Structure 1
Amino acid sequence: MLRFVALLLLIFWSSAASAQELTEVLGPAGATERLVIRSTTDLAVMRPVVEDYLVARPNLRIDYEQWGSNDLYELTADECAQRTPGADIVISSAVHQMVRLVNDGCAATYRSDLTASLSAELRWRDQLWGISREPAVMVYNRDLVPAEEAPRSRFDLLDLLRPDASRYRGRVATYDIETSGLGYLLAFADSLEASTFGGLMESFGRSGAVATCCSAEIIDAVIRGEYLVAYNVLGSYAMARAQEDERLGIVAPGDYTLILSRGAMIPRDAPSEALASDFLDYLLSPSGREALEEALLLVRLDEDEGSPLELPENVQSIQRPISLSPALLIALDTHKRGIFRERWRAAFPSEW
């Protein structure tokens, strides 16, 4: 029996490890303290922030684990249910999943002057905090999409897809909501916000749009010209790539622009809760905010000088922040999720 249990544990941990996208240790090899961060944020983006934090902490090493949102949610939920110590802090763009974890009693409570200074939309129960500010954008290939055709709103995107002979057929991409928790969240937010959502789903299906993964892959495919336009891409990743390649155009949709804040949570059974709290406070401190802004994880839409992000004139009125609140639990309701997925699959039948 013990061998059987050990085998099951080995299978579980092996599959969990294989689901990691990347693991790296930062900090001195002889450090006496250890902080484990699990995050959906690409290490390439987050590395400067982590390294800035480590400068004043010579006795700390950080184990940074990069995960896909669905895998990170499932592992964190399993560890919570089993009361198994795992990460010290979890950071995810799929904030509806983070709200579920907090609602299920999986988070530690922490309060400081810095966490208390956050607005109500970025703090829930003193157990979940919004640490970034990132618009969901449309991107396009500047070389292949004429300036007059570059979509400035969802209505423009619909117009591009409407003709039966549209050259955009099969060359528009978005997140696959089955494999991306972030993709599901953004699509669900659209369904609540936009009068255009039904039309977009119908147009995506009729024009052979592609549902795929993930931010970096979608953006690179647009730059290569495999796709001409991509919809609902995180602006932080897009802006970082646009700085390197001028072929990438980025648009904050002029009808409305969803604003995401990545959620940070300290698990209830975190081995190093005090270190996690210190890292959270750093992220919310002036020096941490500066590092996040330099990493393009804090995007100020009203300060676009030198930015590759193309903004409408009414930038203040179009912003639609996704608040950290119990309202996000609706996105994970089994019945509603099932209906939403069926609607999505009808729009992308070739994916199933």
Structure 2
Amino acid sequence: MSKLAIITLSTLGVLTLGATIYTNSHRSKAVNAASNATEQQTLTVYAAGPKPLSDQIIKGFEHQTGIKVKSFDGTTGKILSKVKAEQANPQADVLILASMAAGVDLQRNGQLLTYHDAKHAQQLNPAFQDKHQQLFSYSASAVGITYNKQQVKVAPTDWSDLTKPEFRNQVTIPDPQTSGSSLDFINTYQMQHGNRLLKALKQNGAEMGGANKEVLDAVVTGQKAAVFGGVDYMSIAAIKKGERIGFVYPKSGTLVNPRPAMILKSSRHQTAAKKFVDYLLSAKVQQQVEQNHLIAGTTTKLTNPLNNQPINTYRVNWQRANTALTDNLASFKQVFN
């Protein structure tokens, strides 16, 4: 993965007037100081959604702290592209990504701020805690198989089911270059099993689609019968709305992917950024996370929200996953070129 630029915010310059007009000079400095104070209380957050949750969190944070938040919502891929494009004039203070590997990459490059005293950080699930105290996984999502109930008569139970004849030319896969959850899944799956299944899927006509929403829409509308590696919270939200789809966590195992928040080291709004991280880990936001069908960072057990059954999850060393990412992404591209 390419190195990302450290994010900073530009500050307002101080206007000075001639000493011969003391009153106007004093007034100008006072107005400018007030402008600087306002600027220092504006926090810029780039978040990988879901947007309704992001909007809810930001509104609550602004109400509780009086700190204004300027936000950008997009996929992990779009956020990273935006950060890269802004290298000459960085804008963000806090990033919330849907890819733990992307967060670890920023960490390994020395771009993240250490926050030792984050409130409630010790209450995070041990699997989500970062010993460096830089990545704060306030939520997580898991991937599985999303399928169209009108087209699929027998629900799949494992990944390999999607290589059967009834799924020929009917499977879509989220693009790991736009979807952070797909990026981490494609990587960790190959760390566990290699790429044999990916080749079998390709031979059965599986195709790479767009980001998570695009591939979900393809199944909802019947263009495709199933998603390999669809995110759970989007599928569950669609099921709750009455869409004729199903969702399963494969019995052989799947990835539960932490969604880390992080403060960029060169942020000039570090106090406000720390308050935002504290707010993300608060009981109020953790409840909102669950209401949006994501896994709360403070959860004590990983269970299926639809039936409360345990999820068989991969055990992931994220430092090793970051090291393996380039090769495994290249392997995926060789199959789905």
Indicate whether the TM-score tops 0.5: yes
1:102 corresponds to which residue? 107
CA separation of 1:244/1:144 partners in 2, compared to 1, >3 Å: closer, same or farther?
same
Helix, strand or coil: the match of 2:256?
strand
2:137 corresponds to which residue? 130
Q: Check conservation: 1:204, 1:348, Cα contact below 8 A.
A: no
Residue-by-residue CA offset, 1:223-275 (whole Å, 9 max, x unaligned): 10011010111111211121113302111111112101101110011131111
CA separation of 1:157/1:331 partners in 2, compared to 1, >3 Å: closer, same or farther?
same
Q: Aligned equivalents of 2:127 and 2:167: distance in 1? A: 41
Q: Aligned equivalents of 1:321 and 1:121: distance in 2? A: 11
1:228 corresponds to which residue? 225
TM-score, scaled to structure 2: 0.78
Q: Aligned equivalents of 1:100 and 1:275: distance in 2? A: 24
Shift of 1:218: 1.1
Matching residue within 324, 333, 337 for 1:345: 333
CA separation of 1:347/1:245 partners in 2, compared to 1, >3 Å: closer, same or farther?
farther
2:11 corresponds to which residue? none
The reply to whether residue 319 of structure 1 matches residue 318 of structure 2 is no
CA separation of 1:249/1:106 partners in 2, compared to 1, >3 Å: closer, same or farther?
same
Aligned pairs for 1:20-35 within 5 A = 32=38, 33-35=41-43
Shift of 1:210: 1.2
Aligned pairs for 1:269-280 within 5 A = 269-280=266-277
Q: Check conservation: 1:34, 1:62, Cα contact below 8 A.
A: yes
Matching residue within 240, 253, 256 for 1:256: 253
5+ long unaligned stretches in structure 1: 1-30, 161-165
Aligned pairs for 1:73-112 within 5 A = 73-76=80-83, 85-112=90-117
Aligned pairs for 1:1-352 within 5 A = 32=38, 33-57=41-65, 59-76=66-83, 85-112=90-117, 113-118=119-124, 119=126, 121-146=128-153, 149-158=154-163, 160=164, 166-194=165-193, 197-298=194-295, 304=304, 307=305, 309=306, 315=310, 318-320=312-314, 322=316, 325-333=318-326, 336-337=327-328, 340-341=329-330, 343-349=331-337
Residue-by-residue CA offset, 1:79-135 (whole Å, 9 max, x unaligned): 6x76x5521210111221111111111111112242244326421411112111211
Q: Check conservation: 2:195, 2:332, Cα contact below 8 A.
A: no
Residue-by-residue CA offset, 1:293-317 (whole Å, 9 max, x unaligned): 112222677665xx4x467x6x25x
Helix, strand or coil: the match of 2:120?
helix
Q: Check conservation: 1:38, 1:64, Cα contact below 8 A.
A: yes
Q: Aligned equivalents of 1:276 and 1:216: distance in 2? A: 29
Shift of 1:44: 2.9
Structure number, greater radius of gyration:
2
User: How many matched pairs?
Assistant: 294
5+ long unaligned stretches in structure 2: 1-36
Helix, strand or coil: the match of 1:131?
strand
Q: Aligned equivalents of 1:157 and 1:330: distance in 2? A: 29
Q: Aligned equivalents of 1:187 and 1:169: distance in 2? A: 20
Helix, strand or coil: the match of 2:250?
coil
Residue-by-residue CA offset, 1:189-240 (whole Å, 9 max, x unaligned): 001123xx53321222112211011111111110100110101111112111
Q: Aligned equivalents of 2:135 and 2:302: distance in 1? A: 26
Query: Which residue type is aligned with residue 242 of structure 1?
Result: I
Q: Aligned equivalents of 1:222 and 1:120: distance in 2? A: 32
CA separation of 1:303/1:175 partners in 2, compared to 1, >3 Å: closer, same or farther?
closer
TM-score, scaled to structure 1: 0.75
Q: Aligned equivalents of 1:156 and 1:101: distance in 2? A: 36
Q: Aligned equivalents of 2:226 and 2:127: distance in 1? A: 35
Q: Check conservation: 1:85, 1:269, Cα contact below 8 A.
A: no
Shift of 1:63: 1.2
CA separation of 1:241/1:179 partners in 2, compared to 1, >3 Å: closer, same or farther?
same
Q: Aligned equivalents of 1:131 and 1:237: distance in 2? A: 18
Q: Percent identity?
A: 22
Aligned Cα root-mean-square deviation (Å): 2.6
